[in-house]
Amino acid sequence: MTMAHAKRPKALLFDVFGTVVDWRGSIAREAQKLLAPKGHDRDWDAFARDWRGRYQPAMERIRSGERGFVRLDILHRENLVETLDAFDITGLDEAEIDHLNHAWHRLDPWPDAPSGLARLKREAIIATLSNGNIALMVNMARNGGLPWDVILGAEVARAYKPQPEAYLRSCEALSLGPGETMLVAAHNSDLVAAAATGMRTAFVLRAEEYGDPAHEDAKARGSYDVIADDFHDLADKLGIPRP
Amino acid sequence: MTMAHAKRPKALLFDVFGTVVDWRGSIAREAQKLLAPKGHDRDWDAFARDWRGRYQPAMERIRSGERGFVRLDILHRENLVETLDAFDITGLDEAEIDHLNHAWHRLDPWPDAPSGLARLKREAIIATLSNGNIALMVNMARNGGLPWDVILGAEVARAYKPQPEAYLRSCEALSLGPGETMLVAAHNSDLVAAAATGMRTAFVLRAEEYGDPAHEDAKARGSYDVIADDFHDLADKLGIPRP
């Protein structure tokens, strides 16, 4: 399927963790690099998955109204303390914990992401629509060469996905109706929530995010406007030529 | 004066209208292009200055609390209707008024701005800190090749400069203290307000903004950390080498 120019979304809004960057591999490498020299021998992939696993429950307290909005850096740090405890890792000072927490600011992009985003940017606004906070997204973009036009998402919207406000306020910030935009994500639940607000949807398969063919996001499970293998395949299907 | 790396601000936040882009020349050209073929013969420079002159009073109603926050596109359009009336220009349809209003999304950068920003970006985060809204800033950046890391300012902060919240919330969005940042502006009043919040300051002379050597911003009138002739001179003075 190729999309004619007139039907192409004016803005592509991207989920980031897992869709644009490899959080699992990056966090496992950073944890090992900091902690192995201190004598800790652990399954660093499991460490990364444990830390990430505390992400949705932490946000859920905010989505439910039990807790006021705080940015993701703060949730990540609280969760890291829990993960360190769960893995029986002690003896880190506060600066070391902060450094490891900022590994989220240094996540490596999937190999196609920098060049794919640059290609997509020639024909559409490209924006983050992540639960990550602004500083995290800015530092990650500078680290990984991600050429965003604008950082949107939870901190600008003051709402965490999949709350509809997170999507709708991001579109509104661009002065676009949801139907003029498209969410690009590797996660079925995110795309289903975006579609419910009127956004168009593109599923990008990131099989290595979890490295588990049985994972719910190892295939597209909904009816999306585009299903793509990576960002260049997405550009092909949107009719955006190679440079 | 050259600044050593350790003393350099981590983020440079930019006023935009007049500092990065030439609103007066751009608006005069767009107004003439749309309106002269319709038989209107006016002083288009005066038209641009009149439209811009309605900017501070419109924001002041919001700063004072008389009116809730609305984005600048809306204020610009209300002000345009007044300027058209003041210049006795009638007969435009709504789409033509919208098109002229969006001339603010298409303002041309000063000649040094795109390359100067790209140079500054190599060593510091570069962000907008403008009263312009997000969509306006994004479209302007794509039109003029302005390589912002992030769009901050009034719409993200929900406060118009020179209210302190506009500056402080922009720094906070980057997880930086005001003293780790620097406002870059061509306007003395903006820099004085930023300095009062603890931000560092750089005055960049834009003599052609008003083209009037008697204008209050035709010279630096305060004590700023840097005074520069353009963005490359600013990079020189921050110790950021030419590429």
Is there a contact between B185 and B231 (Cβ–Cβ < 8 Å)? no
SS3 content of chain A, % helix, strand, coil (to 5): 50, 10, 35
Tell if the CB–CB gap between A135 and B73 is shorter than 8 Å: no
Q: Tell me the pLDDT of chain B (243 aa) as tens digits.
A: 567 666 899 999 999 999 999 999 999 999 999 999 999 999 999 999 999 999 999 999 999 999 999 999 999 999 999 999 999 999 999 999 999 999 999 999 999 999 999 999 999 999 999 999 999 999 999 999 999 999 999 999 999 999 999 999 999 999 999 999 999 999 999 999 999 999 999 999 999 999 999 999 999 999 999 999 999 999 999 999 998
Q: Looking at residue A7, what is its pLDDT?
A: 82
Encoded tokens for B215: 């204008």
Q: Ramachandran region of residue B153, left (φ > 0), alpha (ψ -120 to 50) or beta?
A: left
Asked if the Cβ–Cβ distance from B73 to A175 is below 8 Å, we say yes
Which has the closest alpha carbon to A56: A36, A34, A76? A76
Helices (H) and strands (E) in chain A, counts: 11, 6
In chain B, what are the domain boundaries? 5-22+107-237, 23-106
Pairs of CB atoms within 8 A across A/B: 50
DSSP bridge pairs for A227: A203
**Residue B149: closest CA among B5, B11, B9:** B11
Whole-structure pTM value: 0.96
The answer to whether B139 and B104 have CB atoms below 8 angstroms apart is no
Residues of A within an 8 Å Cβ radius of B? 73, 125, 127, 133-135, 137-138, 141-142, 147-152, 155-156, 173-176
* Chain-chain contact of A150 with B155 (C-beta, under 8 angstroms): no
Cross-chain residue pair A174–B134, CB shorter than 8 Å: yes
Mutate which of B175, B176, B180 to disrupt the A interface (most A C-beta within 10 Å)?
Answer: B175
Residue A70, CA distances (Å) to A59, A67, A122, B71 in order: 9, 8, 34, 24
Could you give the maximum distance between any two Cα atoms of chain A, in Å?
A: 58
* Separate counts of helices (H) and strands (E) for chain B: 11, 6
For A5-22+108-237, which CATH superfamily applies? HAD superfamily/HAD-like (3.40.50.1000)
Chain B closest-CA separation from residue A24 CA (Å): 24
B75 is written with which tokens? 């204020």
> Which CATH superfamily hosts domain B23-106?
Putative phosphatase; domain 2 (1.10.150.240)
Contact B160, B63 (CB under 8 A): yes
CA separation for the pair B99, A112 (Å, rounded): 37
B173 with A134: Cβ contact below 8 A: yes
User: Alpha carbon of A199 to those of A19, B48, B109, B138: distances in Å?
Assistant: 17, 37, 33, 20
Fold (topology level) of B5-22+107-237: Rossmann fold (3.40.50)
State the ipTM, two decimals: 0.95
pLDDT of residue A6: 64
Instruction: Pick the residue from chain B with its C-alpha nearest to A158.
Output: B156
**In Å, how far is B204's CA from the nearest CA of chain A?**
25
Per-residue confidence in pLDDT tens, chain A, 243 aa = 567 666 899 999 999 999 999 999 999 999 999 999 999 999 999 999 999 999 999 999 999 999 999 999 999 999 999 999 999 999 999 999 999 999 999 999 999 999 999 999 999 999 999 999 999 999 999 999 999 999 999 999 999 999 999 999 999 999 999 999 999 999 999 999 999 999 999 999 999 999 999 999 999 999 999 999 999 999 999 999 988
Q: What is the DSSP letter of B115?
A: H
Q: Which of B122, B148, B151, B155 to mutate to test the interface with A (most CBs of A within 10 A)?
A: B151
Q: Give residue B7's pLDDT.
A: 83
Q: What strand order describes the sheet that includes B226-228?
A: B150-153, B125-130, B11-14, B181-185, B200-204, B226-228
pLDDT of B2 reads: 65
| Paired strand residues for A181 | A11
Whether residues B150 and A149 touch (CB distance < 8 A) is answered with no
Cα–Cα distance measured from residue A153 to residue A160, given in angstroms and rounded to the nearest whole number: 8
Question: Which positions in chain A touch B142 (Cβ < 8 Å)?
Answer: 125, 149
Burial class (CB in 10 A: 0-12, 13-18, 19+), A39: exposed
